[in-house]
Amino acid sequence: MCERVCAHKGSQGVQCAENSLKHELGDELLPLLLAHRDVVNRILEELWSHIEWEKRKIPGKKQWRLLPKYKVDVHSGKYKKKLRESLLQEWPFAAHWVDSAIKTAYSILRLGGKTMLKEKERGEDPLRKDSSQEPNKHS
């Protein structure tokens, strides 16, 4: 276990413990990490495609809001199971990575929903940002 000095806001050089796992598997892990990222993006696109946008007027104002409305119940266990099974058909790694990707995508949709909604109101596609860049390899 390594220790480093953390610069927490309002602290005077507090010691933080950092667990680090030493490995030499960078080239072997890269395909898994890239595949995980890609499947998270695929799930987000799938979930995003099931959203219909309803324009509603704000009472007493001249403004309108775009409100999301799901075409299917994406939060049902039946839908998640079907999604998982479809992803596992092409997945070469352990199944728990698909489960992790599903949880990650749902968290992104839930937590990033406000930002995504603002981008949608501006006419942007929040899922079409340049995330295709490969991560830098560290020597």
pLDDT at 4 over 80: no
Who has greater pLDDT, 107 or 13?
Answer: 107
Tens-digit pLDDT profile for residues 10-21? 445 555 555 555
Q: How far is CA 51 from CA 14, 17, 54, 72, 113, in A?
A: 46, 43, 9, 8, 12
pLDDT at 28: 79
Distance CA 52, CA 58 (A): 18
SS3 category, 52: strand
pTM of the model: 0.64
Please provide the average confidence, as pLDDT, over all residues in the chain. Answer: 77
Lowest-pLDDT choice from 34-38, 86-90, 105-109: 105-109
User: How many CA atoms does the CB half-sphere of 118 hold within 13 Å?
Assistant: 3
